Amino acid sequence: MLRRQPSKGRLVSALSGLVVDPPPIWLMRQAGRYLPEYREVRAKAGSFLDLCLNPKLSAEVTLQPLRRFDLDAAIVFSDILMVPYALGQKVEFVEGEGPKLEPVPSGKELAKLDRLKAEARFAPVYETLSRVIPELPSGVPVIGFCGAPWTVATYMVEGAGSKDQAQARLWAYRDPDSFQSLIDLLVETSIAYLLGQVKAGAGVLQIFDSWAGSLPNDEFARWCSYPTRALVAGVKAVYPDVPVISFPRGCGASAERYAQETKIDAIGCDTSMSLAYMCEILQSRLTVQGNLDPLLIVAGGIHLERRVKAILDLLSSGPFVFNLGHGILPDTPPDHVAKLVALVKGKA
Ligand code: CP3
């Protein structure tokens, strides 16, 4: 289906600290509603969760962006809320509203969560990976992923996305011991989930901590850095060579300490992170990934070109993976994505 690459591949090389020219590129949420072929499959799958649990259709939508664009990785099509689903929490995705879960608002409800059935519930995601891998050329890995314990906990506690994650923060302030039990359960379940994804063929892992920015500094260490460190250690104990990227969105100047404490191989930087900080502070320690504003691909044209050039000028002489500062938006024209990939690959 696609071009051949040397076996280690461009993304894994960059994640191991090498400078790859031109830098590898993949995009957060590269499969999804901005692609008409995704919307077609989505319409036939039923609900979003039905799609995630259907390995044949999930494999198809995982591959769709790679058929169109010269990307250096696929990311398995699933969702971070697969973990609460696997723990027996009721999870739904309401059209136009986002995720809705039956809330777990305090320690009293923890007993309802059940880890024993989780592996069986993860099985369709593992099957999606097994179906995708033979379709990719060597050197183009499939990225497995999960949400970081803190971010997943915010959805479990609130029962939906929220603007300030107040319910989860309140629980953590009022009763840190029982909140720690929820975090520990998520660490343990997510380690098993990531190990299962590697066993099924994922060659790279990414941890999404989309709400890392909502915690004050010392709480950030306790609920973001330490659980992620435990997650990374649990994976590396079994698969020391599988690179792990983490994306602690909104963590600001805590990024340097976070990278040190968690022992990740690469840090995903959000749109607000300055290129100077990424270059001078982070890139001397580890591979950086990021951080184009997804709105600039909607805008396209000269604004997109200028920013891509600025990012490449500052970051491409060190270990770097080109990506967005957050997920691709549904109203992104696919032509603009093609243009972006060509710009990064020096083919525009
Ligand atoms: O292509 C890929 O990147 C792989 C698939 C993927 C999805 N979600 C598919 C999806 C990945 C990696 C995610 C991660 C995810 N899911 C995050 C972390 C990244 C981020 O965006 O901050 C979060 C917070 C979620 C939870 C989630 N899932 C929300 C808040 C929503 C609703 C918002 C929205 O975009 O609709 C989802 C639904 C979702 N996950 C969709 C897709 C393609 C849209 C559902 C649809 O097709 O109807």
Q: Which residues contact 322 (CB under 8 A, 6 or more apart)?
A: 23, 24, 25, 289, 292, 311, 312, 344
Helices (H), 53-95: 55-68, 82-86
Report pLDDT for 348.
86
The pLDDT tens digits for 64-100 are: 999 999 999 999 999 999 999 999 999 999 988 999 9
**CB 156 less than 6 A from any atom of ligand 1:** no
Q: How long a stretch of residues is the chain?
A: 348
Report pLDDT for 120.
97
**80, 94, 194, 324: residue to mutate for ligand 1 pocket, most atoms within 8 A of CB:** 80
* Model pTM above 0.85: yes
Angle at 257 between CA 223 and CA 156, to 5 degrees: 20
Which of 84, 57, 296 shows the shortest CA–CA distance to 186? 84
Structure tokens at 292: 């184009």
H/E run at residue 246: strand 244-248
Closest atom of ligand 1 relative to the 210 alpha carbon: 22
**CB 152 less than 6 A from any atom of ligand 1:** no
Report pLDDT for 260.
97
The pLDDT tens digits for 29-61 are: 999 999 999 999 999 999 999 999 999 999 999
Residue matched to tokens 């260490």: 221
Question: Mind telling me the catalytic residues?
Answer: 29, 33, 42, 79, 155
Segments of the chain scoring below 70 in pLDDT: 1-7
Report pLDDT for 79.
98
Strand partners, 288: 267, 320
**CB 100 less than 6 A from any atom of ligand 1:** no
Report pLDDT for 232.
98
Which of 249, 252, 205, 250 shows the shortest CA–CA distance to 231? 205
Report pLDDT for 5.
45
Q: How far apart are CA 167 and CA 158, in angstroms?
A: 6
